[in-house]
Structures are given as structure tokens and as C-alpha cells.
Amino acid sequence: MPKIVIDPGHGGRDPGAVYEGRQEKDDVLALALAVGEILERNGVDVVYTRTTDVYNSPYEKAVIANNADADYFLSIHRNSSETPGTGTGIQTLVYRDDGIRAEMARNINSELTSLGFRDLGVEERPNLVVLRRTENPAVLVEVGFINNQEDNMLFDEQFNSVADAIADGVLETIDGEDPPADRVLYRVQVGSYQNSGNANAELQQLLRQGFPAFVLYEDGLYKVQVGAFEVLNNAVRMEQTLRRAGYNTFITT
């Protein structure tokens, strides 16, 4: 049974980011517990750095993870910008952008983007203690900006889907370490071109809009696609988001 340590950021005397009375430590604790419950139902052994409003230093959290002899470490946070309303989107931080941690980071981002969050990508943060001191593959996900009303609306109104998306990203990574031969991944296709320049132009437009897009060369065509989802419903949500943005789409595997 795989084991993951889930760390709700901040806690106790450290509220994290605060906006109009809303505290990061409360948002991420509720979300972490929801994600953990989903993972446990899917056969993952879950350990928490906290389950109540208490403070542990980043180093103490890393020690908890190391002592648990876990396979993965997931820290959940919310972002904030200097000026309210100017920052938006999700982002995942890693000590170094390689290996299974990089795969997990992108899987989580892809799933969250399917809900309508802007994808700010994966960023290396080697100075963060919870990423530097943990001995297992570690990621820190920033689930929207707490001082952005649209991000808060997504967080609140789609709370269960946000928890599902993070859990799905983790499960995709775990399954991907030893994928079955008949594993199916669903992708959303937005264009197919004979000319690579046309495909790249659409790719850059999608990336600027925050979609996890890529180009696949197949059957003599440059196919512009978004995401790679194990769960069909997540691909459907991404397709709906893309259609609202004006793209003609269909789901492929």
C-alpha cells in the first residue's frame, strides 16, 4: 500500500495568507482532510502533519514525513498577491523539476486546470524547508489566490471537485509508476494541422491562457491537445472550459 504524508500549510499561530477575515490555514486544513479521505478510499495510507489548528514548523513537518517512511509528501497551500485581484491560478512547487515529483506536480495542475483555474505551471523552490528536508518525493500545491474573488468562488463552489482533482493527480502518479497495459488516458483535442507552424501558434495561445497544452505528431498531423486524464469526467470538464473559451474540441484517447 503506498503511503503519502499530507501537510495542510501553516496552522495555529501562523494563519498563512489572510484576506477579508479568510485565513489560508483554515482553507487548506479542510481541503487536506477531504483529499486524504478520497485517497484512503482508493487504498492509499495517509498520514497528516496536522488535523487540527496547531502549529508545526516547516522543519517539524519534514521530520514527520521522514519518520513516517512515506512514499510521497503533499503540502497544500493557497497563494496571495501583493494587490488583491491581480493574481490568479494554481501552481505547484518542487525542490527540483525532475522525476516522480515533477510528474505528480503536473498531474495535479492538469486536474485542477480542468475545473477552470489558470495553470501557472511548476516552479523549482529549493529554498523551501518542506521540500528541501523531506526524504521522499515532495510537492507543494498552491490552490488559487486567497485574495482573488474568482479563485475563491471556484474553491468554495467546487470544493469537492477540487479535492477530487488533487487526489486524482496523486493517484495518476501512483498508478503511472507501474501502469497497466490497458491504461487509458483521455485528452481534449482542439486542432489538427499539416503545418507545424499553425499547430505551434495555437499551442502558444493555449499556454498563454493557462491551459496545459502540447502538440502530438501522429499520422502525419500535428495535433494540439490539452491534458491527459485517467478520469473521463475530468476530461469532460476540461472540454467544457475550452469550449467556453471559444475552441472547437473533442475528447480522444
Q: Residue 43: left (phi > 0), alpha (psi -120 to 50), or beta?
A: left
Whether the per-residue pLDDT at 1 is higher than 60: the answer is: yes
pLDDT of residue 183: 57
48 pLDDT tier (thresholds 50, 70, 90): very high
Is residue 42 classed exposed, middle or buried when 0-12, 13-18 and 19+ CB atoms within 10 A define those classes? middle
pLDDT of residue 214: 83
pLDDT of residue 196: 82
Percent of the chain surpassing pLDDT 70 = 97
What is the mean predicted confidence (pLDDT) over 11-39?
97
pLDDT digits (tens, 9 = 90+) for 116-141: 999 999 999 999 999 999 989 999 99
142 catalytic? Reply is yes
What is the mean predicted confidence (pLDDT) over 62-68?
90
Exactly one of 24, 103, 142, 230 is catalytic; name it. 142
- pTM greater than 0.85: no
pLDDT digits (tens, 9 = 90+) for 182-228: 557 788 999 999 888 888 888 888 888 888 888 877 788 888 888 87
pLDDT digits (tens, 9 = 90+) for 161-175: 999 999 999 999 988
